[in-house]
């Protein structure tokens, strides 16, 4: 997880500027590395599961066949939704700015395709698409009235509440609605860890991740500092990035969660913790390349440059028993 502060060089005749800076963004944690990506899902895809077999060993008492146990097979569907990006840009918005120098000349002036301005636009769109995919992965809700969120169903907004209500996923309160008191984050993390299902607890802790909101991250770091433990639960990676650990499990900070829940969903001081393995979180798509392939073209009749993306995208999970969560 890191703040991305991108810029690109543009050459001008004068000396006013030679660099265009993009607004810094906090890049979603680990991009797609912290999800299981399932490609080639055109509409729906079935995931097949086989129930565990146990108590099938019996005492041999002589000749004869006495069957005990039965294979239980069930399936669940992963569905992808059609998504698109449509943006248009009129060249007149660059009049009387330093970027006017980078426009094409004559009859081609309105066409931004292939110009340094066009390249700047493409880079900005790709950054925006990445942010939107991760926002929708966690908080999308097809029943929402907000067109920015009703694109697909998300993990936190749809699937986790369903699993908790069905008593399929262990849950504890994250004490949302107010800032966390000293020690509260540590208590929440402890409960999430201790309430794991046997299936999740049986996996090595090194396979697991703790996906947390920034509020949890900050409060837990303060707990470590105030406890006098110093760096007991903290590591410094080679590149200087600070990493927090709880019982040997890495915390993945998601500050964008706090922004979305507060600014878009109207939830103040919302705290979230999810203990799982990355392969349990499913990001499904038709073609991975389509997710960031951006088409730019000039419409001579409307005299605008248009940007277009079309793809298929959906979220889901593998096993409900491989979640342990805290939220409200």
Query: How confident is the model at residue 230, as a pLDDT?
Result: 52
Averaged pLDDT for residues 275-286: 90
Tokens of 269: 């001081």
Q: How many CB atoms lie within 10 A of CB 113?
A: 18
Domain limits, the chain: 2-40+77-327
pTM of the model: 0.82
Q: pLDDT category, 69, cuts 50, 70, 90?
A: confident
Residue 64 Ramachandran class (φ > 0 left, ψ -120 to 50 alpha, else beta) = left
Q: Between 25 and 204, whose confidence is greater?
A: 204
Q: From CA 32, how far away is CA 279, in angstroms rounded?
A: 11
Residues 271/215, Cβ–Cβ less than 8 Å: yes
Angle value at C-alpha 75, between 70 and 77, nearest 5 degrees: 175
pLDDT at 4: 45
pLDDT digit string (tens) for 135-163?
999 999 999 999 999 999 999 999 999 99
**Of the listed ranges 63-67, 235-239, 258-262, the one predicted with least confidence:** 235-239
Distance in Å from the first CA to the final CA of the chain: 25
pLDDT above 60: residue 5: no
- Residue 26 clears pLDDT 50, i.e. is over it: no
- Mean pLDDT lowest among 96-105, 106-115, 179-188: 96-105
Three-class DSSP category at 125? helix
pLDDT more than 90, % of the chain:
40
Backbone phi, psi, residue 174, to 5° = -100, 10
Mean pLDDT of the chain: 82
């Amino acid at each position: 997880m890191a703040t991305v502060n991108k810029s690109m060089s543009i050459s001008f005749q004068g000396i006013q500027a030679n660099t265009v800076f993009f607004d810094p963004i906090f890049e979603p944690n680990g991009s797609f590395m912290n999800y299981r990506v399932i490609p080639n899902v055109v509409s729906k895809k079935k995931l097949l599961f086989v129930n565990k077999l146990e108590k099938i060993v019996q005492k041999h008492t002589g000749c004869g066949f006495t069957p005990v146990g039965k294979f239980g097979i069930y399936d669940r569907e992963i569905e992808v939704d059609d998504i698109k990006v449509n943006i248009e840009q009129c060249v007149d918005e660059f009049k009387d700015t330093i970027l006017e120098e980078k426009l094409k000349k004559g009859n081609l002036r309105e066409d931004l395709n292939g110009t340094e301005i066009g390249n700047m636009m493409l880079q900005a769109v790709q950054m925006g698409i990445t942010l939107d995919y991760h926002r929708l992965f966690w908080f999308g809700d097809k029943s929402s009235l907000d067109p920015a969120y009703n694109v697909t169903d998300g993990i936190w907004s749809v699937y986790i509440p369903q699993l908790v209500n069905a008593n399929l996923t262990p849950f504890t309160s994250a004490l949302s609605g107010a800032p966390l008191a000293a020690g509260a984050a540590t208590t929440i993390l402890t409960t999430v860890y201790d309430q794991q299902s046997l299936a999740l607890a049986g996996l090595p802790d090194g396979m697991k991740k703790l996906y947390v909101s920034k509020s949890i991250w900050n409060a837990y770091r303060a707990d470590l500092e105030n406890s006098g433990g110093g760096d007991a639960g903290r590591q410094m990676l080679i590149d200087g990035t600070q990493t927090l650990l709880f019982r040997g499990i890495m915390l993945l900070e998601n500050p964008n969660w706090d922004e979305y829940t507060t600014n878009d969903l109207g939830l103040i001081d919302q705290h979230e913790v999810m203990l799982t393995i990355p392969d349990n979180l499913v990001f499904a798509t038709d073609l991975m390349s389509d997710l960031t392939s951006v088409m730019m073209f000039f419409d001579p009749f409307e005299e605008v440059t248009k940007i277009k993306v079309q793809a298929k995208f959906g979220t889901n999970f593998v096993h409900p028993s491989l979640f342990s969560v805290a939220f409200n």
